[in-house]
Amino acid sequence: MNDKLIVAMDVPNALAGLELAKTLGDSICFYKIGLGMLTSGGLALANELKLEHGKRIFLDMKLFDIGATVEHAVRGIAQYDIDFLTVHGDPHVVRAAKEGASKSNMKILAVTILTSLDRDDLDANLMKAGDIRHLVIERAERAFEAGADGVIASPQEAGFIRALSSAKKKLIVTPGVRPTGAALGDQKRIATPAEAIANGADHIVVGRPIWQSNDPRQAAQSILQDIREASTDR
pTM, to two decimals: 0.94
Amino acid at 204: I
pLDDT at 4: 96
pLDDT at 185: 78
pLDDT at 125: 83
pLDDT at 1: 67
Q: Measured between alpha carbons, how far is 42 from 145 in angstroms, rounded to an integer? A: 31
pLDDT digit string, tens, across residues 120-131? 988 898 788 888
How many C-beta atoms lie closer than 10 Å to residue 60's C-beta? 25
Q: Measured between alpha carbons, how far is 139 from 151 in angstroms, rounded to an integer? A: 9
**Active-site entry in 62, 107, 170, 188:** 62
pLDDT at 233: 62
Q: What is the bridge-based pairing of β-strands 5-8 and 203-206?
A: parallel
Active site residue 50: no
Q: Mapping DSSP to helix (H, G, I), strand (E, B) and coil, where does residue 16 land?
A: helix
Q: With a cut of 50, which residues of the chain have pLDDT below it?
A: none
Contact 114, 61 (CB under 8 A): no
Residue 143: closest CA among 168, 118, 159, 167: 167
pLDDT at 93: 98
Amino acid at 108: I
Q: Measured between alpha carbons, how far is 34 from 11 in angstroms, rounded to an integer? A: 10
